Structure formats: C-alpha cells, structure tokens
Amino acid sequence: MHEMLDTLAYYFTFPFVRNALIVGVLVSLCAALLGVVLVLRRLSFIGDGLSHVAFGAMAVATVMGLSNNMLLILPVTIICSITLMQRQRDKQVQGDAKIAMLSVGSLAAGYILFNRFPPKGGNVSGDVCTTLFGSTSILTLSQNEVWLSLVLSIAVCLIYIVFYNIIFSLTFDEEFAASQGINTKAYNVFIASIIATVISLAMNLVGSLLISALLVFPVVSAMRVCKSFRGVVICSAVFSAVCAAGGIVISILLGTPVGATIVASDAIGFALFSLIGKLKGI
Amino acid sequence: MKKTFALVCAIVIALYATIVPAQEDKYEGPNSMLNLAAKDYLDVPPFEEPLIIQHDLSRLSSTMAYAQLYDMLCNAENYVGSAVKLKGPYMPYQSEAGELMHFVLVYDMQGCCELALEMLPTRGANIEYPEMNTEIEAEGLFDICNDDGVRFVALRINRINIVGQD
C-alpha cells in the first residue's frame, strides 16, 4: 500500500497526469449534468449516436489535414445534435431510427476514410482504436486541448447553473414550459449544442464507443439513492467526477486502458448505489 | 442581418480552417542541441557514466510510459539534455537513402499503438545491435537533432543492454 502511494505521488509529478485528472473530472462532471436531461427524456442513446458522428467528422478532418480537428468536429456534431433532438411528427424516419442510421453510417464512413486516406506516418488501427476506446487520449492532450477542454467545461457548468430552472421545465414538461412563455425551440437547440460540445470533449476521455457510459451511469446510479431532481443532478455529478478520477488513477497504476477503466468504475459504482438503494428501500 | 453575419463568419472560419495548410518550415536549429558546435547531427562526444536518470520509463506502467514518451516527443525542448532510461523491443529501420536507423519501441497497454525513439550512438561508441524485437534497455541523453532541415529527437547512447543478458 505504501509502495502504491509512493508510486502515485511520483506519477502526480508528471504534468500530463495532472492535466488528465483536471480535464477528466471536469468533462465527466459536465457529461453527468447533461446526462440527467438525456436520461429523463429517454434520449440516452443520442450520446452514442453523436459520438459516432464526431468520429466520422474527425476522420474527415484528419483526411483534410486540419491543424485542429475540433474546428470540424464541433460544428458537425452540433448540427447533428440539433437535428436528432428535434421532435418528430409524422415523419417517415422516427427518432430512434435516425439515431441508429447516423451512428452506424458515420462510424462506417469514418473508418473507410481512415483506411482510404491514412494519416501521413500514422498507424490507422492504432489511431482508430485510441479514438474509439480512448486508451491514452486523455494522457496525451496538448496544452491547447487542455485549455479548450477547461474553458468549455467551465462554460457548460455555468450555463447549467444559470439555466437550471428552464432545463428542469424542459426535461419534465415541455408543453407546460411553452405555455409559460419559454421559447422551447430555442432552448432545445441550445441544450442540443451543449450536449454535442460535451460529447466532443468526452471523446478524449473515454473514446467514441464508451461515451454513453459517462452520460448514463452517473444518472441511473444517482436515481437509485436520490428522489429529487436536484439531488439526482448533484449526486450524479459527484459520482461521475469520483469515478473518472478513480478510473484514471487505477489505469495509470495498473497500466489498463483509461476509457475502459473509467467505465468499469462507473459500473462498479452503479452496483454499489443499487445495493444502497435497495437497503434504503427506494 | 444577424443570421447573415453569423453565416458569413462561420463560412470564413471554415474556409480558413480547411484551405490554409499547416505550415512546415525547414528546421534551422543546431545540428545537435547537446553539441552546439557539431557540424553534423551525429557528432556528439560520449557522456560520463553512470548517468543519474531523470526520466526512467522502464519503471512506469505501460500507460504511463507511453504517455511520458508522447510528452517527450511533443515537448522535446523541455527534455533536452535529460538522462532517460527506456526499455522495449529493438527495431531497426532502413531509410530510403540506405541509412540504417535504430529505434526502441514503447507500446501502450493494448499493444496497438507504439512510439519509437531513435537511438544515436555517441562518438566512438561501438554498439552491437541485437536482432529485431529483442527486448533492450537504453540509457542516454535526450537530444534534438537537425538532419538537413528535418528536426527529429533522439536518445544519445554509449551502449545498450539486452534484457536478460549480463
């Protein structure tokens, strides 16, 4: 135990470890906050769909040789998020089918692009594997990426706090919110944009395939022990931050993939919270 | 009016991001950061041993070793002159010009991604390189070199140790 603590203390002297912890905690916190909205509106799978769209956009950005992939990933993901979250009425393609089509279509297109136009001097399977599963992405962030993640995460948290009441209204009863004079269309677009932003950031943390875990596990775990909306929001944020930090620490100590370790921590946390919830009789 | 302005801004930013290529200037630094008077990047005198290792990647987990080497490759200026110890498979590579280069590989925990650090012998070092994929340990000084305008990083070594051999 003493040796492990010494090793951990040594690892914390590395700047990229400190950056990873800060960014990881903030991004997972944002993901949990927005996950509450998605889970309660039964849109949990949108995270998966959008992350795959982001993967496809990243492939296009890599082929185009953009110096900063986020310049393409963010706008494309935001546009798709707005499209997916719009209410469907009398359309031939329903919401869940639309998510599925966009998700697998983007994933396939992205992988084909990577294979057809591999990055110069790059390792296609390694790049794809890292992007999909987030093995070491969070530990290899550039300084610009760290600052961008920090600024966007703090902005998302502040927006959530400022618009908390409106988010609450839109989550539970959109028609009532509209009748109260809230511009529900505009706020839905706004929330969709923030969700897309968080998902783009979370790709660096857990990879495209595992992002749903960051959105869903904290919320569902919190709902096992909390009864109120505010309680679920706070509990899921804390749960997500703790599991992200714990997952990063465990992965660097044991040499396991970072993304998968964070998700495994979430899963164990969910099991624990389920047990607590059962014991509490909730 | 506002929508048009926003659309124009978005298009300009998108065009700038896509059309303006990343500029790669010819590296005009010294041939070797460890030996500023060197006429060629190969010319570095041997260093005194034993080295006091400042970055020992051999004792890190695979996740950390990969991330540390990645940081060293991306922010090489922060590591020039520091004593580094690496452990990994040996990989030779013959360039198009026929030059035989020597690398030590560091894999991530999944084994699908690897980073390679080139090993350059110091002046007078007579190194017998093993077969490809042999596990080796390399201790040396981190350097930034200039090969006719091409900037690359390397580990200056006096010798290598084959893991498992005395």
Higher-pLDDT residue of A162 and B3 is: A162
Are A110 and A209 a contacting pair, CB within 8 Å? no
Give chain A's end-to-end CA distance (angstroms, integer): 36
B136 pLDDT exceeds 70? yes
Contact criterion met (CB < 8 Å) for A252 and B109: no
Across all residues in chain B, what is the average pLDDT? 86
Query: Residue A90 — very low, low, confident or very high, per pLDDT cuts 50/70/90?
Result: very low
Listed residue (A180, A161, A193) closest to A78, CA to CA: A193
Q: Is A183 a domain residue?
A: yes
Average pLDDT of A127-156? 83
List of domains in chain B: 30-162 (2.40.50.140)
Question: Touching check for B109 and chain A: CB below 8 Å?
Answer: yes
Per DSSP, the three-state class of B149 is coil
What residues contact A41, with CB distance under 8 A and at least 6 apart?
A171
* B23, B95, B113, B115, best to mutate vs chain A, most A CBs in 10 Å: B113
Average pLDDT of B130-154? 94
Domain assignment of residue A213, given as a range: 2-274
Listed residue (A112, A153, A217, A121) closest to A21, CA to CA: A153
Max Cα distance, chain B (Å): 77
Average pLDDT of A253-278? 92
Q: Is A170 a domain residue?
A: yes
Query: Residue A63 — very low, low, confident or very high, per pLDDT cuts 50/70/90?
Result: confident
Token duo for residue B90: 């040996």
Per DSSP, the three-state class of B24 is coil
B14 pLDDT exceeds 80? no
DSSP state of B57: G
Percent of chain B with pLDDT over 90: 57
Average pLDDT of A36-55? 87
* A11, A71, A137, A140, best to mutate vs chain B, most B CBs in 10 Å: A140
DSSP state of B30: -
B117 pLDDT exceeds 90? yes
- The closest CB to that of A16, out of B14, B61, B71, belongs to B71
Q: Is A264 a domain residue?
A: yes
A246 pLDDT exceeds 50? yes
For chain A, what is the HEC assignment? CHHHHHHHHHHCCCHHHHHHHHHHHHHHHHHHHHHHHHHHCCCCCHHHHHHHHHHHHHHHHHHHCCCCCHHHHHHHHHHHHHHHHCCCCCCCCCHHHHHHHHHHHHHHHHHHHHHHCCCCCCCHHHHHHHHHHCCCHHHHCCHHHHHHHHHHHHHHHHHHHHCHHHHHHHHHCHHHHHHCCCCHHHHHHHHHHHHHHHHHHHHHHHCCCCHHHHHHHHHHHHHHHCCCHHHHHHHHHHHHHHHHHHHHHHHHHHCCCHHHHHHHHHHHHHHHHHHHHHHHCC
Crossing angle of helices A124-133 and A95-116, in 10° steps, is: 150
B158 pLDDT exceeds 80? yes
Query: Residue B8 — very low, low, confident or very high, per pLDDT cuts 50/70/90?
Result: low
Q: Is A282 a domain residue?
A: no
User: Which residue has tokens 């749960």?
Assistant: A239
Are A37 and A205 a contacting pair, CB within 8 Å? no
A122 pLDDT exceeds 80? no
Q: Is A280 a domain residue?
A: no
Q: Is A268 a domain residue?
A: yes
Average pLDDT of B31-38? 90
Chain A residue with Cα closest to B61: A255
Max Cα distance, chain A (Å): 63
Contact criterion met (CB < 8 Å) for A16 and B68: yes
The CATH number of whichever domain residue A262 belongs to comes to 1.10.3470.10
Are A132 and A181 a contacting pair, CB within 8 Å? no
Per DSSP, the three-state class of B60 is coil
A136 pLDDT exceeds 80? no
B21 burial class (0-12, 13-18, 19+ CB within 10 angstroms)?
A: exposed
Length of chain B: 166
Contact criterion met (CB < 8 Å) for A123 and B114: yes
Are A167 and A34 a contacting pair, CB within 8 Å? no
The pLDDT of residue B75 is 92
Q: What is the pTM of this model?
A: 0.84
Report which listed range, A123-132, B28-37, B80-89, is most confident.
B80-89
Give the tens place of pLDDT for each residue, A198-235.
888 888 778 888 888 999 999 999 999 998 999 999 99
Query: Residue A191 — very low, low, confident or very high, per pLDDT cuts 50/70/90?
Result: confident
Quote the distance between the C-alpha of residue A240 and its chain's center. 11
Residues of chain B with C-beta less than 8 angstroms from the C-beta of A68: 17
Across all residues in chain A, what is the average pLDDT? 86
Rounded to whole angstroms, the Cα distance separating B17 from B4 reads 20
Q: Is A248 a domain residue?
A: yes
The ipTM estimated for the assembled molecules is 0.81
Question: How many domains is chain A built from?
Answer: 1
Are A52 and A216 a contacting pair, CB within 8 Å? no
Which amino acid is present at A150? L
The pLDDT of residue A100 is 84
The pLDDT of residue B12 is 59
Average pLDDT of B90-115? 88
Rounded to whole angstroms, the Cα distance separating A128 from A207 reads 10
Are B107 and B114 a contacting pair, CB within 8 Å? yes
Higher-pLDDT residue of A123 and B119 is: B119
- Residue B152 sits at the vertex; the CA angle it makes with B154 and B42, to the nearest 5 degrees, is 60
Contact criterion met (CB < 8 Å) for B67 and A257: no
